[in-house]
Amino acid sequence: MRFRQTVRVPSDRIGALLGKGGKTKKWLEETFKIRLIVDSNTGEVTIESLTDTLETDTLKAVEVVNAIARGFSQGRAARLKQDDTILSIMDLRSYQGKSSNSLTRVRGRIIGESGRARRVIEELTRAEVSVYGHTIAIIGRIDEVKLAEDALDILASGGPHRVAYQLLQKRRTEAKIERLKLWEDSNDRPS
């Protein structure tokens, strides 16, 4: 039995999914051994495996299509090919309701002036962040995504940028200390 899943892609992201001259679509099909069926009118994209077995490649392809649909470029979404990398999507409507003014304000807080806030979060967590429509999408390892989610939760809830950045710095320092302890423990063992 072949794997088949349909994903809805916003109409303004269909072009990004297809790529110039179909380049992105071809890359997806070759990389993940799938076939993409794109309906440009409805925005429905069907991802179909080419083999009868359910492989992780097919599930990763669904994640990559979702990442591109949420505003990531092919290059940034390609990070999802790695086994330890996931895609997380946060819905901003759960923070501020469905009002377009409140969504615009929250998106602005998360992106920051000239993209600074988003860039700082990406640098401190090593995760990729995309703000698109009423969602925030995050690509990274589980620990990176969790850290980014915590910082973005502070900003989306109206907390000061300073508090979010302090949280990231504190967790980054704790992680470095933990890695150092592990390194020291491994070097202290008798050979």
CATH topology (fold) of 4-81: Ribosomal Protein S8; Chain: A, domain 1 (3.30.1370)
Residues 6 or more apart whose Cβ sits within 8 Å of residue 145: 86, 88, 125, 127, 138, 139
Domain 85-182: give its CATH code: 3.30.1370.10
Give, for all 191 residues of the chain, the pLDDT tens digit: 578 899 999 999 999 999 999 999 999 999 988 999 999 889 999 999 887 666 667 889 999 999 999 999 999 999 999 989 999 999 988 886 667 788 888 999 999 999 999 999 999 999 999 999 999 999 999 999 999 999 999 999 989 999 999 999 998 888 888 878 877 777 766 65
Cα distances (Å, whole numbers) of residue 120 to 4, 102, 111, 152, 162: 38, 23, 10, 11, 11
Angle at 66 between CA 117 and CA 152, to 5 degrees: 25
* pTM score of the predicted model: 0.86
pLDDT on residue 117: 94
pLDDT of residue 1: 58
What are the start and end residues of each CATH 3.30.1370.10 domain in the chain? 4-81, 85-182
